[in-house]
Structures are given as C-alpha cells and as structure tokens.
Amino acid sequence: MSPARRLALALAWLGLLLVAGWWIGQHLQVSGDLRKFMPSARTPEQKLLIDELGEGPGSRLLLLALSGDDPETLAGQSTALVEALAGDEHFTLVANGAASAGEAMLEAIPERLRPYRYLLTPTLDRHAFDAAWLADQLDARLQDLGSPAAALIEPLLPADPTLEVLALAESWQPEHAPQQLHDVWFDRAGEKALLAVQTTAAGFDPGGQQVAVGIIERAFAQARGDSSAQLTMTGPGAFSVEVGGRTQREASFIGTLDGLVFALLLLIAYRSWKAPLLGALPLASGGLAGLGAVALGFDGVHGITIAFGFTLIGVAQDYPIHLISHQRPGLSPWDNARALWPTLGTGVVATCIAYLTFVVSGVEGLKQLAVFTIAGLGVAALTTRFLLPGLIDTAENGGKLYDAAASPAMAWLWTKFASWPRLGVVAGLGLALASVAVAGFAPGSFWQNDLSRLTPVPEHLLALDGELRGELGAPDVRYLIVLQADDAELALQASERLQPVLQRLRADGRVRSFDLASRYLPSAATQRARQMRLPDAPTLRTALEDALVDSPFRSDVFEPFLADVATARQAPPLTAADLAGTPLAARIDGLLLRGDHQATALVALSGLGDPVAVAHAIEPFGAQLLDLKQASESLVAEYRVRLLWALALAALLLVATVWVALRDFRRVLRVLAPMALTTLLMLAVLRGLGVELNLFHLVALILAAGLGLDYGLFFDHAGDDRDSQLRALHAIVVCSLATLLVFALLATSSIPVLQAIGSTVAMGVLFNFVLALLIVRQTAVDRPPAPSSRDLARSRL
C-alpha cells in the first residue's frame, strides 16, 4: 500500500466519522433534565422534586429589565414586547403591569363562568345580601357614577351592583406590584421598565429556556429599533442559558487550543505531519461510538453524562501514541500492534470492567456513563489494534519512520531518569499514610454537593436578580410550601386552612407575599358554603326593592343581577377542569399539581426571611416547607455515594483483571502502586488546599487512575531492555505531555467545573508519570541488539 493510499484511507476514515457525527447529532437528545442524571428519589422531598416538580414554579419565571433610555421610550418598548410575546406558545404569562393582569384575566374568563364570581370572592363570608347591605352598596355606586371611573363602572352595574367582578380582579392582582410609569411597571428609581415572563418550558430544560430567551431577545431587538435601550434578563432559565453558553464557549475555545497543542506535540514527537491525524482517529471514533451507543440505548442523555464521558475516554488518546512510539525498523505495524495488544488490552479491559460496575449502581446517569465509556474505550482500542496499523508509515512500506530508540534526546532523558532513586515499599507506604492523613484531617467539608456552584452565575447578575425579584415580588426559587392530599379538592381545602397562617406570617414580616391555588379557586366546600348564603330569588328581589326605595337608581335596571345570583346559587362548584383554556388555568396548574391518586398544592413564597420559623408555623397544618436546593443536593450526595460504592467494586475488579493478565504478585503490585498512590496524593493535595470535592473531581480522579494504570502497564511491558524502555519512555512522555497540556489548559478556565477537571487530571498525570518512573521502571540492561518486544510480551503473558 502506497503512502498516498494510506493517507486516502485515513481521510476516508475521518470522513466516515464526520458522517457518523452528523447522524448522531440528529438522533441524540441531550437534555439538562436532572432526572436523567440523578438516582431515583427516596425521601418525600426528593420524590416531589423529581417526580412532580422538576423545579419550583419560580424557576420558570424570567425577569426582564429595560434600561438605558428615557422612561417613556422604555415603556413603549415594554408594551411592544408584551404584544410580541403574549400570544406565543412558549410563554404562559407575559406581564408588564399594563392592563393590570387581573383585569386582563377577567376579560378572558368566558361569559358562562361570570356568575361564579359570588362563589370565588370572600364577600359572602362577610356580608349577607340583605336590604341594608345592598343599600350601602348602591350609595357607593352612586359615588362611583360621579367619579372619574364612571365610564368604566356604569356598564357593569346592571349585572353587578356590588362590583364583585372588580373585587375578583383585585384579588388576582400580584400582591406587591411595582410602581407604574406610563402605564407599565418600573423599578423604584424609575429607570428600568420591568416585565415578568413565565416560560412554558421547565426551568431545568436548558433547551427550552434557550428557545424562550432567544424569542425574547429577538422581540426586544425589534422593539428597540435604534434606541439606546438595553435588555437584561435574570431568573434560573436566563442564567442556565447564560452560564451554559459561557461554559460552552470557553470549553470549545480551550478544546480548539487543545487540539492545536495536541497536533503540534505529535508533529514534534514523530516528525510527521500525519501523526496528529493518526493520533486523533481512534479517540474520535471512540467518542462517537460512545455517543452512538447512548443514543441507541437510552431515550435521552444528560449533558453532564456527556461531559463526564468525554473526560473519561480521554485515556484513549494514548492508544495510538503507544502504537506509534513502539514502532521500530524491521517490525511491521501489524506485528507491533499484536505485540502491544496484551498490555494495551489489559488496560482497556480492566478499565471497562471497572466501568461495568456503574451499570449496577441503579443510577440512570451512571448507566449511560458506563455504556458511553465502555463503547468509547473499546472502539478506540479496537481501531488502534485492527485499523490503525494499516495506516502507519514504515521504511518497508515506502514511508518514513521515526524510531524513538534512535533519538539522542530520549537517550539523554532516559539517562537522567535512570539516575533517579527507586521508591521502596516503606517509603511508598509512608507517602500513602501521610496522604490519607492530610486528606482526612484537612479542615472544611470534604464534599461539595451544590452542582450550581460548578457553573456559577456572575455576581452582578445575581445581585440584579435579587433586586428585580424584590421589585416584582417574584417567588423564591429555593423555598416552597407543599401540601399533599388525596385529591385536588382536599388539597384546596388544606390550602384554605393554611391561608390564615400565611397571612399571619406575612403580617409578622416573615414572608413578603405568597401565592396559592385556593386564592384563585376556592375549594368546592367553600363554594358550596357561599352558595348556601346566597338568598333565593324572591328574597333577593324583595331585599333589592327595599334598598331601591328612596334611591336615585332606577328600580328596573338590575334584572341581570338577579339572574346572575340565581345562576350562581344553582351552579355546580367550579373545578380546575372547568377553567381549562382560560388564563386562570395556567396559574392554577402551576400551583395545584393533580396526579391520578394524589394532588399537591404549592404555596409560592417571596421575601422569605426566616425559613425555620415558617416551617415550624405551617407544620401543624400538614404543610411542609420544601428546600429545593437541599433536596437536589441530597440527590447529588446520593449519586456520589452510589458512585463511590461502584468505584470500590471497580477497584477490586481492576486488581483482579490485572492479576489475571500478569499473574505475578510483585508485578501486579508494581503496576498498581503508582495509580493508587497518585489517587491518595491527589486527594491530599486537593484537600490540603481546602478544595471541596465534587463529582467532577471524582471523575477526574477516575481518569487519572486509568492513565496511571496504562503508564504502569507500559513501563512494566518494556522490561529491562534499553531500547524497549526508550520507546516506552517516549510513548509515555508523549502521552503524559499531551494529557498534561490538554488538561492544564482546561485548568486555566475561569469556570470552576472546567478548572476542577483540568487541574485534577493535570496533577494526576504528573504524579502518575513520576511515580511510574520511580516504582515500575526496571533497571535497564544495555545489551543491543534487543529482543523484539513481541517476544518479550509473549514470554510474559
């Protein structure tokens, strides 16, 4: 096969990968849904979080601020935004204060439901519809007719002399609406026009949030024209988009840089411009195979699983390097691959068996991770073994080969390393003990369960969010009161019993405001009680006639009122289902979750000052203050515990696999000691620096252990032959330099999650390399010509 043919084949392989990548891109559903990543829920809080809520109603709210122009212009833009977004299916609520939300909702309530007003307002709880009260109401209406609001009120009066409709609209208003300038909400300083937008997509759905944020941004660009106004968006959805975008931009920038560094390194190491291409093919194949396997085997994959997976298969980057470094004159690449296979295969099989333990963890995200890494590593190893040799240039097949053993630089390095002392058992044990001590006794908490800390929202946006949340009275995203009952009616009754408590808490300043479903839809029991208090037709007619004596009102204009009351008296109580299709339904559905055998009423809180006091006050009413943050953190902790158990099992299986491959106690110990010591050392360094470990550190540790295993195996494979040692050293130096550079670049990231992975792996590479040199490397015997490494491998396995 000619060099040109080999190149063509390599490019064809690359082309195939691109096609496969495109196909997978079409079929893989990446979701940010925590449920795809977390273990199944156990505690009631976790169940609620995972099974019912996903997240609280506050998490679907986007808070918008328009600033940077004069208030009148901003108000116009605010109105234009509402007009653009109001009909859009991606939003369930778009409010800027204009046409005060309550009235707008009232307009959209169908005529047939209007008589229900008497059952929905608390008026009948306080007043009887008798002559005295009606006369009092008519006096007030006369004043209304003489007031600036006359034109608004007059048309309502025949059917509604008590203005129940307005009472209803008022009860639907947000409790703490911001001030209004030019008819729309503004902050207290009068500089920012404020809007509240609720997305249809859940807060944990970054894709849906991204679409929503995109629509808002386009609508604003349209509304802004050439004004100098600016749009700021906060809220969980906006943050996930902002942070996700930033993480992605930085990761892809660093990734590109990494690719260049990797290519440059291989170019220098092998003096061949084809080396980078050959070096990248198995890893790329493995990554795509992993993604493809997950796409075939699961409905959707969590973004974090993919991030973990790509980190873990990073070890496959080393496979082609080992192959190319071990290539020497007179040896066909196929024989070279066959000779390396026992060593390479041991590493791959041991690692894959270790990842198999994730499958039994019972966590969906870990199962996906196992499938991803096993498929990825397997394919990367198999392509290195069975495809890559056909593409390698040697002197025999018309190409040019770089022999590491002939390199003076390598020889110099080898001599340097040869003078290093060996690390004995006692020193190793001492180091291990010291590491354990540091890791165990370092102050501060060991684990960090708050995943959001890994992708933090910029401080100024958080401050703005707090400010806007306060101005708009938007609900808290962390705390939420939960009432569970057998059905919706019982849940509504429970909410009603809780209402006085909440009012007291608000009066005491422990919460600023609250919102619950029974505010919009009283329980059927309450509605029936109000029906009982409505007078029958003759009684009401008599009372009204009495009230109209000596009144300036005409006596024959209130027939529609009598008809509405008669309807209200007979109507079956209004249920949530009756409201389907009205704007009220969106609010109720967010606050009253109706399952087949259970219903959950939620109370959204804002301005929560003292969670403990609130939790205590509501407890006797069967209500529970849910801390969403704590619930999700406890899930993360559970994920980690399962992961650690899986890892413990994995470690045993790994030792067993290496044992089966090497069958020599001392060699097994030598091969495994560097990775074990490295793991302990890394823990000690991280903990010593006060780093709280998170899941990403854990994944980085696993990757480092995998790398360490390979270094150990290949140093061991080299035996005591100088040339073999030189080639192994070359391979491991290139591998570890490549990995070190790639992850050290990642460590410079400003985003903690990338930094955590980068710094941990980079440190692991360094420790593994040094410890492998100190422990595994055997004293070389200089006896050219060397026996082929193939013979060596055969003699050992």
Partner 1 sequence: MWVAGVLLTGAWQPVAATEPAARQATPTPTSSTAVSADWIIGKLAQPVPMRTAFVELRESRMLKNPLRLSGEYRRPDEDVLVREVRAPYAETTTIRGGAATIERSGKPPRTFSLSRAPELAGLQASFGALLSGDRAALSEYYTTRSGGTRERWTLTLTPRVATTPPSTASTSATLKARTGPGSGLRDITLYGQGAELRCIETRMAGDPEPQRTLLASAAHAAGRVDDPARLAALCHVGVSAR
Q: Which residues are near partner 1 by CB under 8 A? A: 75-76, 79-80, 82-83, 86, 97-100, 103-104, 107, 139-140, 142-143, 145-152, 154-158, 180-184, 552-554, 557
* Tokens standing for residue 685: 């360094």
Question: Which residues make Cβ contacts (< 8 Å) with residue 358, sequence separation at least 6?
Answer: 366, 367, 369, 370, 643, 646, 650
CB of 107 to partner 1, least distance (A): 5
- Signed CA dihedral, 339, 341, 347, 350: sign only: negative
CB of 227 to partner 1, least distance (A): 14
CB of 754 to partner 1, least distance (A): 46
Question: Which residues make Cβ contacts (< 8 Å) with residue 582, sequence separation at least 6?
Answer: 105, 108, 109, 110, 113
Q: Which is nearer to partner 1, 178 or 206 (CB)?
A: 178
Q: Which is nearer to partner 1, 100 or 435 (CB)?
A: 100
CB of 104 to partner 1, least distance (A): 6
CB of 112 to partner 1, least distance (A): 16
- Signed CA dihedral, 662, 668, 670, 676: sign only: positive
CB of 143 to partner 1, least distance (A): 6
Residue 130, classed as helix, strand or coil, is coil
Q: Which is nearer to partner 1, 144 or 403 (CB)?
A: 144
Contact 231, 220 (CB under 8 A): yes
CB of 193 to partner 1, least distance (A): 12
Q: How far apart are CA 698 and CA 710, in angstroms?
A: 19
Taking phi over 0 as left and psi of -120 to 50 as alpha, with beta for the rest, 407 belongs to beta
Q: How far apart are CA 481 and CA 470, in angstroms?
A: 19
Q: Which is nearer to partner 1, 136 or 396 (CB)?
A: 136
Q: Which is nearer to partner 1, 185 or 714 (CB)?
A: 185
Taking Cα atoms as reference points, which of 331, 410, 456 lies closest to residue 750? Answer: 456
CB of 215 to partner 1, least distance (A): 18
Q: Which is nearer to partner 1, 299 or 550 (CB)?
A: 550
CB of 168 to partner 1, least distance (A): 14
Q: Which is nearer to partner 1, 163 or 691 (CB)?
A: 163
C-beta neighbour count of 505 within 10 angstroms = 21
Q: How far apart are CA 232 and CA 97, in angstroms?
A: 18
Reported as half-sphere exposure (CB side, CA atoms, 13 A), residue 516 has a value of: 29
Q: How far apart are CA 193 and CA 68, in angstroms?
A: 10
Q: How far apart are CA 135 and CA 270, in angstroms?
A: 100
Contact 384, 731 (CB under 8 A): no
H or E element at residue 282: helix 275-297
Q: Which is nearer to partner 1, 79 or 484 (CB)?
A: 79
Contact 579, 521 (CB under 8 A): yes
Q: Which is nearer to partner 1, 554 or 597 (CB)?
A: 554
Q: Which is nearer to partner 1, 447 or 553 (CB)?
A: 553
CB of 553 to partner 1, least distance (A): 6
CB of 543 to partner 1, least distance (A): 18
Taking Cα atoms as reference points, which of 181, 124, 133, 185 lies closest to residue 161? Answer: 133
Q: Which amino acid makes up residue 575?
A: T
Q: Which is nearer to partner 1, 416 or 554 (CB)?
A: 554
Q: How far apart are CA 752 and CA 456, in angstroms?
A: 8
Contact 313, 287 (CB under 8 A): yes
Residue that is written with structure tokens 């491959």 in the block: 661
Query: How far is the CA of 185 from the CAs of 167, 182, 410, 756, in angstroms?
Result: 22, 8, 72, 42
CB of 55 to partner 1, least distance (A): 31
Q: How many residues would you count in the chain?
A: 797
Q: Which is nearer to partner 1, 227 or 624 (CB)?
A: 227
CB of 131 to partner 1, least distance (A): 19
Residue 197, classed as helix, strand or coil, is strand
Q: Which is nearer to partner 1, 141 or 326 (CB)?
A: 141
